[in-house]
Each structure stands twice: as structure tokens, then as C-alpha cells.
């Protein structure tokens, strides 16, 4: 390990150490080890992370780019959240074979279903490459630094990939003060093994989302397959189940208050170094815009999904994704205000500046300069949010937007044939991806509403020319609903993008004339031109300014607090968090216990309800209290529990591991009272919501009758 790494981490990791706060880098967990042991860890440092022998990190994967999964048998059996497997389950479902609604269990390897476009990453090792990056980039700034960084990053990754044997990524930590190389093995032959019915895997729906108490059995099961050498291989019928270097034993002893818990996973993004000006902009401009747009999108999609089961299956995965973060931004805004985060950060920045003036003049103007970056960007933040969330919401817009680079190339005096082919291929990929979740009636209504919302909510001086040049000129402005609905009809009836025959003819011989007369292309490129000419430069300046100043600000915080243990923001790399099982008191006279039971599940049950229905098999088992060996000592079946572990998006599906290294449950959510967590950690309220391992095994064995899966796990009492 390089001296640079050790010296940096000696002053690293933001905010003073609390056992339940912090997303720690596995290879550097040694600094936390004594505290972990004090809390109940029985494993060695090498048991947690080792490059010389198998360790817990070898049993945890990044699942399909946005979640976490873990291996719970030696034969590559993988478990993750139901909502993480939702897209794959939906893609395998039809109206006739509706695995999403009815559940699915494979009772032998040959019954397992190939999950197309699903992959997992196993972390092989981590290396510090900070010295290489800093040596190559030197004192370069701005675009010159970016260009040199991309050049050296690419070289490091290509060397580590060993001719595509591995997937290698260089990631920055501490806002660019440190760089680590993460090397993975990528497996792409992943097969669906089991899933409960959606009524159980998504029990509580949007109503219970981000809430405690919770009763959801949020899991789905897959298996990793490999070639005969146990290495990654493309799907082939004769591939073999992956022989795991490490799998997690499963404990059915249950958890108790104050038990030690540890989570390995791939948290997506936190921004806990954010300054007060950034939080203020989120509260006043960005978050309300996202919520406003998504509310309308969800209302439109839900109505069409309710009318047609085929449309429901086509749109449900996208709907779930939009809905999840719609509620997230509502909760984050509420909790940031409740905790007075803007005011607290402003006070901390004032103290930092006062310290810098006296002790480190190189930092004295950092906060002021950083705040100015936000001040310059704030008048355009809403426009840029609407460009992303509103303009790009309809599938037709996303497909049409892919025409823009092809159009620019065709417009040249001497267009390059290879470049044209590259852009045509990108267009075909965009169409293929978006047609999967395309329903014409839904998309047309969405297009009309999004176009209207952009017009009404964004200052008139920031509009693209399509409104005056086409929409109001052709369709009038006396009735906005009629105007935008008529315009939507016009666009959908005058584009070659939605007709396969016309589209295929175009990509064989693309011409600029066809693009120019296409109504969807005209619409999309009007927005794109407006954005690229007027707002992309502002956004790029904002990002560049933030990057340089946040790096300096974080370095200043480290210099100011040399005796504190700091942790880096989440960035979709493997982290360890540790804490304990614990209830909490969210408000005066209200206390939440640390677990829920099937009794509470049944109390919420509403026959035929979209969110709180339950399958007959579960109701029958409950009536007989047939819980088998999965009942708690008190005779009840525990469904979920909560811990003080620090997680965020991307941790979905992460294993909850006890002090003995055993799997006791699966993380699937955070709690409403602590939704400020990505920006400001709340040590009093922060909880991770987990499905109890016993509830999961009960569903597999008693409802799914999948005894084959139970038998291949190492289950410990």
C-alpha cells in the first residue's frame, strides 16, 4: 500500500467517527476494525477483505449496474431485492405466463430462465493510483486537466483489463483528492431462479415506500453461470453454475436489539460535502421540479397501465423506477428543511473560513468562490432539470434525440461514412431500447403534457423556437390542452421513427432531407439546439467550477480536522458499513420497535388492493401459524427489522451480516425521517430497513415449495 494512500487516509473520512455513520472502503477497513470488534464482530480483517484468499467481499456483487446482490450457496445462487430483479422478471413475463404477478420457482437448473441483459460484477482487487494521476496531470487546469486525466485513466484501465479479461474502473474519492483503480470480473449469464408474487415482493407499494414499519418480502433469486473453467462466458445452454470463491452462510437464529450488523454493498451517490448554497438550490429549484414533473408522468402512466395488462407489463419497471425517486425527493426536501441543513452548513462554512483566514490563507476564499458558482448557475437550474426530466420523458423524444449527431454529420460538406455508420448504430440502439417500454397512447399523452409543462413552467425567454415557429403557428394558442394534444397527434403521425418499415428504410440510406421533414426530429432538435447553444455551456461551467472548488474545500476540511477519521462520499464502489439492530423514537410519544411480524402484514391486508393484497397461500399458512423452523422464540414470524447502518441507493439488495459473518437478512430501504441522508446524515433517525432472512426462507420453502434451494444453502441455527 502506497505511503500516499496511508497519509491521506490518516486524515481522511468526513465527520467524526460514529459506528453507524460512514461508507468505508473495504481495503482500508483496518482503521475501523477495533470499533467493529467492540460492537460484536468476530471475524478477522482478512475475513472481510483479502486479495490473497477468499473473503466476504468475494460473496458480494454489483447487480446489473444499480443494485447489490450476494452469493448464498457454493453453486452461484444469488439473492437481491425484488425491486432490483423487477425489470428482468417483467421482461420474462407475458400476460399468459405472468411471473411478476404470480411468482416463479425453478426446481432444477434446467428450469432456470436466462435473464437477458443482466450482469454482475465481482470485485477482484483495488489499487491506489493517485500518484500516477497526479504525476500525469501535474498543475494542469480545466479542459487541459480533463484531457490529460482521461488519457491516463484510459491507459490504467486498459492495462488492468488484461485484454478484456477484467472490467477496470478508475474512480475519484474525496472529491478528486484520491484515485483508486477497481478491477472486476463481469458475468453475463444470469438466470432467474425464484421470485415471490409481486403482491408480496412489493407489498405496501408507494404508500409504504421509504416508511417504517414495513412488512415487504423484498427479494428475488438468480444464479450466476460460467464457462467450464468457471470464468465469465456468454450465455450457452451448457454453461455451469458458478463455483463461488465465497458464499454467505445463512443464520435463522434471528436478530435482537443491539446485535452487531454489517453491510457490504455498492452505494450509488452521496453528497455530504455539499455546501449550503447547493442544498438551498436543491430545495428551491431542483427537487420541486423533479417532483412536479414525475407526479404528472406517474399519473399518466398509471391510468394507461390500469386499462391494459399488456401495457402494465411493458411500463411497470419504468413506473417503479420513476415512482421510487419521486417519493424520495419529496422526503429529502422535507427532512432537509426539518433539520435546518442549510443553516447548519452555512454555520460550518463560516467557521471554516474563520479558521482558514487565521491558519491556512489558501482556503480563505474557497467557500465564497464555491457559493458564486451556485449563484451563477441557479437561474438556469430549473431549465436544465426540465430538459432532463420533462423534455426527455417521452420515448419518442429520446429516440428522436438520437438523430441529432447523425444530422450534424450529414449536414457537413463531406460527411464521413464511418461516422455516419456509428451514429446510425447509436440511433438503432436508442430505438431498440425505447421501443421496449413504448405504448403509443401513453407516450402521446405524455408528450403533449410534457411539452405543455415546459412551456408553462420555464421562463418564456428560455424556450426553444419550436413553440412559436411550429406549435402556436400551426395549432393556435387559444386552448392549451387542445393545442398541445393536436400537436402531439401531428408529431406522431409525421415521423418515420415509430414505423419499422420506414425506419429500416431510413437507416439503410439516411438523408438530411428525411430528418428535416420529420416532425419528431424537428421537435427534438429545437430543444437540443436551444440547450446546447444557451444552457449546456452554463452547466459545463457549473460542473467545472464545482469540481475544482469541492476538491479544494474537502482538502481544507481534512487540514482543519487532522485528528478526525473521514470517509468518502459514495460513488457506486464497494463499501462496508457497520452498526446495530435498533428501534427509534421518531417523535414525541411515538416509539418504533426494531422488528415487524406477519401479524402486522395481515393487519394491513386489503383484498384485491393494488398495494396491500396477499396471495391465498400466505393467508392459509398464517391461519394455521405454519411457520416451521422460521418462527421466532415468541412464536411469531418476523418479517422485517431495522439497523443503524449507513446506506443509500445502490445498497438495495445488500446483505445484512452478523458478527459471525452469517447472512441474517437483506437491505431494501431507508426510513422517511432520515431521507436527508445523501446530503446530511442524521445520527438520531437514520435506519436501514431489512427483510428478515427467516421470512425469505419461509416464502421459499412454505409457499414456493422450492426445497432444492433451501437444501443448497448453508443454514445455521
The rounded distance, in Å, linking the Cα atoms of 598 and 617 is: 13
* Contact status, residue 277 vs residue 284, Cβ threshold 8 Å: no
* Contact status, residue 701 vs residue 710, Cβ threshold 8 Å: yes
The rounded distance, in Å, linking the Cα atoms of 73 and 55 is: 14
Low-confidence ranges of the chain (pLDDT < 70): 1-19
The rounded distance, in Å, linking the Cα atoms of 152 and 137 is: 9
- In a domain, residue 695? The reply is no
Beta bridge partners of 580: 260
pLDDT, the chain, mean: 95
Beta bridge partners of 584: 592
**pLDDT, tens digit, for every residue of 518-531?**
999 999 999 999 99
- Quote the number of domains for the chain: 2
Residue 533 annotated as catalytic: no
Question: Could you identify the residue written with the cell 461551467?
Answer: 541
- In a domain, residue 647? The reply is no
> What per-residue confidence (pLDDT) applies to 479?
75
Is there a single domain that holds both residue 332 and residue 207? no
- Residue that is last in its domain, among 529, 546, 563: 546
Cα-to-chain-centroid distance, residue 382: 23
> What per-residue confidence (pLDDT) applies to 145?
93
The rounded distance, in Å, linking the Cα atoms of 568 and 172 is: 9
**pLDDT, tens digit, for every residue of 71-90?**
999 999 999 999 999 999 99
pTM greater than 0.75: yes
Is there a single domain that holds both residue 98 and residue 178? yes
Is there a single domain that holds both residue 381 and residue 459? yes
Is there a single domain that holds both residue 199 and residue 60? yes
CB within 8 Å of 530: residues ≥ 6 apart:
462, 463, 464, 465
The rounded distance, in Å, linking the Cα atoms of 159 and 563 is: 37
Is there a single domain that holds both residue 58 and residue 149? yes
Is there a single domain that holds both residue 234 and residue 285? no
- In a domain, residue 670? The reply is no
Residue 423 annotated as catalytic: no
Catalytic-role residue among 93, 652, 654, 676:
652
Is there a single domain that holds both residue 408 and residue 524? yes
Residue 632 annotated as catalytic: no
The rounded distance, in Å, linking the Cα atoms of 70 and 79 is: 6
Is there a single domain that holds both residue 218 and residue 346? no
> Cell for 715?
443454514
The parent domain of residue 139 ranges over 45-248
> Cell for 448?
403533449
Catalytic-role residue among 82, 83, 215, 638:
83
Is there a single domain that holds both residue 308 and residue 186? no
Is there a single domain that holds both residue 307 and residue 456? yes
- Residue that is last in its domain, among 506, 525, 546: 546
Catalytic-role residue among 208, 218, 439, 569:
218
CB within 8 Å of 234: residues ≥ 6 apart:
188, 189
Is there a single domain that holds both residue 182 and residue 303? no
Q: How many CB atoms sit inside 10 A of residue 711's CB?
A: 10
Strands 250-251 and 715-716: parallel
- In a domain, residue 26? The reply is no
* Contact status, residue 241 vs residue 75, Cβ threshold 8 Å: yes
- In a domain, residue 570? The reply is no
- In a domain, residue 346? The reply is yes
> What per-residue confidence (pLDDT) applies to 2?
35
> What per-residue confidence (pLDDT) applies to 240?
98
- In a domain, residue 16? The reply is no
- Residue that is last in its domain, among 525, 546, 567: 546
- In a domain, residue 607? The reply is no
User: For residue 607, is the peptide bond before it cis, meaning its omega torsion is within 30 degrees of 0?
Assistant: no
Ramachandran angles phi, psi of 118, nearest 5°: -105, 140
Amino acid at each position: 500500500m502506497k505511503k500516499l494512500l496511508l497519509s491521506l487516509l490518516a486524515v481522511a473520512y468526513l465527520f467524526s467517527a460514529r459506528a453507524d455513520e460512514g461508507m468505508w472502503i473495504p481495503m482500508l477497513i483496518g482503521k475501523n476494525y477495533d470499533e467493529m470488534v467492540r460492537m460484536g464482530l468476530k471475524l478477522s480483517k482478512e475475513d472481510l477483505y483479502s486479495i490473497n484468499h477468499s473473503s466476504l467481499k468475494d460473496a458480494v456483487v454489483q447487480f446489473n449496474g444499480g443494485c447489490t446482490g450476494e452469493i448464498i450457496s457454493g453453486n452461484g445462487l444469488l439473492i437481491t431485492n425484488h425491486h432490483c430483479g423487477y425489470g428482468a422478471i417483467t421482461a420474462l413475463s407475458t400476460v399468459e405466463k405472468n411471473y411478476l404477478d404470480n411468482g416463479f420457482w425453478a426446481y432444477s437448473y434446467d428450469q432456470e430462465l436466462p435473464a437477458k441483459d443482466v450482469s454482475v460484477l465481482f470485485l477482484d482487487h483495488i489499487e491506489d493510483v493517485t500518484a500516477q494521476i497526479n504525476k500525469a496531470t501535474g498543475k494542469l487546469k480545466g479542459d487541459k486537466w480533463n484531457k490529460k486525466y482521461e488519457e491516463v485513466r484510459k491507459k490504467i484501465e486498459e492495462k488492468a483489463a488484461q485484454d478484456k479479461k477484467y472490467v477496470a474502473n478508475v474512480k475519484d474519492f474525496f472529491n478528486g483528492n484520491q484515485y483508486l483503480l477497481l478491477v472486476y470480473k463481469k458475468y453475463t449469464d444470469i438466470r432467474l431462479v425464484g421470485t415471490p408474487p409481486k403482491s408480496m415482493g412489493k407489498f405496501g407499494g408507494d404508500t409504504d415506500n421509504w416508511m417504517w414499519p414495513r412488512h415487504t418480502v423484498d427479494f428475488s433469486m438468480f444464479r450466476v453461470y460460467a464457462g467450464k473453467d468457471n470464468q465469465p462466458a456468454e450465455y450457452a445452454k451448457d454453461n455451469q453454475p458458478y463455483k463461488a470463491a465465497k458464499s454467505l452462510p445463512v443464520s435463522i437464529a434471528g436478530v435482537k436489539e443491539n446485535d452487531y450488523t454489517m453491510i457490504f454493498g455498492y452505494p450509488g451517490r452521496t453528497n455530504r460535502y455539499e455546501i449550503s448554497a447547493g442544498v438551498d438550490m436543491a430545495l428551491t429549484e431542483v427537487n420541486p421540479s423533479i417532483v412536479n414533473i414525475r407526479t404528472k408522468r406517474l399519473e399518466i402512466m398509471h391510468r394507461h397501465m390500469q386499462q391494459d395488462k399488456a401495457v402494465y407489463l411493458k411500463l411497470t419497471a419504468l413506473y417503479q423506477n420513476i415512482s421510487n425517486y419521486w417519493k424520495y425527493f419529496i422526503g429529502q426536501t422535507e427532512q432537509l428543511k426539518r433539520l435546518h441543513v442549510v443553516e447548519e452548513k452555512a454555520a460550518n462554512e463560516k467557521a471554516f473560513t474563520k479558521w482558514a483566514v487565521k491558519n491556512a490563507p489558501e482556503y480563505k476564499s474557497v467557500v465564497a468562490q464555491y457559493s458564486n458558482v451556485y449563484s451563477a448557475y441557479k437561474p438556469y437550474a430549473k431549465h436544465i432539470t426540465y430538459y432532463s426530466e420533462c423534455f426527455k420523458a417521452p420515448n419518442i423524444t429520446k429516440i428522436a434525440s438520437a438523430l441529432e449527431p447523425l444530422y450534424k454529420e450529414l449536414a457537413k460538406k463531406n460527411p464521413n461514412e464511418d461516422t455516419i455508420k456509428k451514429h446510425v448504430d447509436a440511433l438503432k440502439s436508442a430505438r431498440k431500447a425505447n421501443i421496449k417500454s413504448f405504448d403509443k397512447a401513453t407516450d402521446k399523452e405524455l408528450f403533449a403534457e410534457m411539452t405543455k409543462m415546459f412551456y408553462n413552467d420555464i421562463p418564456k425567454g428560455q424556450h426553444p423556437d419550436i413553440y412559436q415557429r411550429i406549435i402556436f403557428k400551426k395549432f393556435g394558442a387559444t386552448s392549451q390542452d387542445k393545442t398541445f394534444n393536436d400537436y402531439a397527434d401531428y408529431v406522431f403521425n409525421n415521423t418515420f421513427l415509430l414505423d419499422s418499415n420506414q425506419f429500416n428504410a431510413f437507416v439503410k440510406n439516411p438523408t438530411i432531407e428525411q430528418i428535416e421533414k420529420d416532425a419528431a426530429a424537428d421537435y427534438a432538435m429545437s430543444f437540443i439546439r436551444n440547450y446546447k447553444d444557451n444552457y449546456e455551456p452554463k452547466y459545463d461551467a457549473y460542473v467545472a467550477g464545482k469540481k475544482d472548488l469541492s476538491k479544494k474545500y474537502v482538502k481544507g476540511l481534512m487540514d482543519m480536522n487532522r485528528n478526525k477519521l473521514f470517509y468518502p462520499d459514495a460513488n457506486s464502489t464497494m463499501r462496508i458499513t457497520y452498526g446495530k439492530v435498533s428501534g427509534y423514537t421518531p417523535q414525541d410519544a411515538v416509539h418504533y420497535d426494531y422488528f415487524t411480524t406477519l401479524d402486522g402484514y395481515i393487519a394491513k391486508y386489503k383484498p384485491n388492493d393494488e398495494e396491500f393484497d396477499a396471495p391465498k397461500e400466505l393467508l392459509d399458512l398464517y391461519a394455521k401459524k405454519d411457520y416451521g423452523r422460521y418462527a421466532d422464540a415468541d412464536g411469531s414470524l418476523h418479517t422485517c427489522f431495522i439497523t443503524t447502518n449507513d446506506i443509500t441507493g445502490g445498497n438495495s439488495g445488500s446483505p445484512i451480516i452478523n458478527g459471525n459473518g452469517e447472512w441474517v437478512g437483506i437491505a431494501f430501504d431507508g426510513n422517511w425521517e432520515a431521507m436527508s441522508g445523501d446530503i446530511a446524515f442524521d445520527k438520531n433517525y437514520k435506519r436501514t430497513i431489512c427483510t428478515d432472512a427467516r421470512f425469505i426462507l419461509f416464502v421459499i420453502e412454505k409457499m414456493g415449495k422450492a426445497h432444492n434451494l433451501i437444501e443448497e444453502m448453508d443454514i445455521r441455527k
